[in-house]
A and B are shown apart, each in its own frame.
Chain A
C-alpha cells in the first residue's frame, strides 16, 4: 500500500507516518517546512519505504505511479501560526485541499481530510456532535483557520458527491504529545516549558474556559480505523475528558513538581469558551475510544519536553 501524507513533517503528520510504516505501508511525505520540521522524521528517514519531498501543496501536486490513500494534514494549526500566516492557512485549506483531492481522484485513491473541532467555533451546543453546524466568526482573526477547514470539508464532500471520490473527514479535537513545538503557542507546550523553567504559567482569561485533550497515539489509531470504515460523514476524534485551562495548569505544575506560579492574561479574541467532543459516532462506527489517560499522556509529553529543553541549553533551569 502506498500512502501520501501532506504535512508529514508536522506534529501529527510525523506520528502518522511512523504508524503507517509500522503497518507496512510505503509512505511519501510532503511538507513545505513552514511550520513542520524534518527533525520530526529523522528516525524514519533511513527507512527505504519512506520518502520525504519538499513541496507546497497549494501548487499542483504531481506524483507518478499508484497511490492508495491521500491523507491531507498540511496546514498551520496553532493560533500563533495561523495568525502570522493567515493567507497561507486559507490557501492550504482551499487550494491545497483542492489539489490533494484532484490527486486522489486521478489515482482512484481514498482521501482523508484532517479537519478540526474549530469548525464548531465557539459552540452553542455542548458537547459537540457531528451534526452541529458550528458558531464561527468568519471575519475574526481565528476565522482564517476555522473557515479554511470548513471550506475544506465542503470541497471534500463536493468531490465525493460530484466525482465519487471515496472521502473521509476526521474532526480532530485538541491533541498533544511529543514533537509539539516548544513555542507553538498552544496551552500544553506553553505550560510545560514554563513549568520546566519555573517561570509563571500564563493562563488566558480567568482560566474557566474548557478544552478536552487527547494523546497523539489515540488520534492516530482513530484515523487508521476511520480509513478502514466505509463512512463519508465527518467523525469526531477526541478525548471527552474536559477540563478548565486553570485545572490543566495546576495538573502540569503538580506533575512536573514545578515551583511556578499561575498568572492571568487577557483572553484572545473569539477564544472558544467550551470544547468537548461527543464521540458516540466514533464509538459506534469505529469501535474507537481514547485509551491514554490525560495524566499519563501529560507525563510522556513532559519527559519529551524536558529532554528537548535540556538539549536546547535551558538545562540549568530545568535541572534546578
Chain B
C-alpha cells in the first residue's frame, strides 16, 4: 500500500491529473493508464503504464 504522504503528492506524469490508488497499481482515469506498484514503489513511468479501461 502507498502511504498517505505519497498519495497526497503524486500526480499523473502524463496529464498532471489526480490518481486513484489501488493495492497493486495507480490509475489515471483521465489518461486511462495504470501505473504499476513494485515492491511498494510507485513506478511513475509513462513507458511502464498499462492501458486501463473503466471497470477493468
Contact = CB atoms under 8 A, between A and B. Distances in A.
Interface of A: 26, 28, 32, 38, 45, 48-49, 51-56, 59-65
Contact of A62 (B3, B6, B12, B42): B12
A28 B9 contact: yes
A64 B9 contact: yes
Chain B interface size, under 10 / 10 to 19 / 20 to 34 / 35 or more: 10 to 19
A213 B1 CA distance: 41
Contacts of A26: 5
B8 A53 contact: no
A53 B41 contact: yes
Interface of B: 3, 5-6, 8-13, 16, 38-46
Contacts of A59: 13, 45-46
Contacts, number: 49
A55 B9 CA distance: 14
Given A52-B40, A53-B10, 6 more contacts: A51-B6, A53-B6, A53-B42, A54-B42, A59-B45, A59-B46
B40 A48 contact: no
Contacts of A56: 45
A38 B45 contact: no
A54 B44 CA distance: 6
Contact of A49 (B5, B13, B41, B45): B5
B11 A63 contact: yes
